[in-house]
Amino acid sequence: MFGKILVAIDEPSQREVALDLIRQVATEGQSEVRVLHLRERELSGYAWYSREDKDQASLLAESAIFELRMDGFAAGGGVRHAFVDRVAEAILDEAEAFEADLIVLGKPHRGEFKTRLFGSVSIRVIRRSSCPVIVAARRSKDREQAITPSSVPGRS
């Protein structure tokens, strides 16, 4: 269905959700998947720093690549640097360079209120992308508890 898929993974909790989406939309033997993990950099005083070290970042990307390869997909990718406020642009640049047919993003960090105040990487990517974008569903503990059979009226 999609020939080239870019998956942007930010943290370990997003990894499984994003890889499940890839397994649903990619075709084994035909789809090429590129895993992208952005190591965000911030300016503090006169020095740049990152919240994670090189080993943590590469482990996240390489484990996702390994898992996709074990599932039979042609996968590659790695870690790139991005400034904190330029993450969406870095994802879009990578998608353009890769000539991606689809972009898959992990679940959003912020809730609706914070997204309205500060914006969202997912929304920026969706608005500016020239190819389709799939964003993983955000599951809160409240929603999961609301769906349990004991919480449905008339059932115990």
pLDDT, one tens digit per residue, over 67-116 is: 999 999 999 999 998 888 889 999 999 999 999 999 999 877 777 777 77
Q: The tokens 């911030």 sit on which residue?
A: 42
Q: What is the CA radius of gyration of the chain?
A: 17
Query: What's the total number of domains in the chain?
Result: 1
pLDDT digits (tens, 9 = 90+) for 14-70: 888 888 889 998 888 889 999 999 988 887 878 877 878 888 889 999 999 999 999
Asked if the structure places residue 156 within a domain, the reply is no
Which residue range is the domain that position 70 belongs to?
A: 4-151
* Residue that wins the pLDDT comparison between 141 and 53: 53
Cα three-residue angle 134-138-143, rounded to 5 degrees? 140
Asked if the structure places residue 12 within a domain, the reply is yes
Asked if the structure places residue 110 within a domain, the reply is yes
Asked if the structure places residue 124 within a domain, the reply is yes
Q: The tokens 């943590």 sit on which residue?
A: 56
pTM to 2 decimal places: 0.80
How far, CA to CA in Å, does 5 sit from each of 32, 36, 63, 145? 6, 11, 17, 33
CATH number for the domain including 126?
3.40.50.620
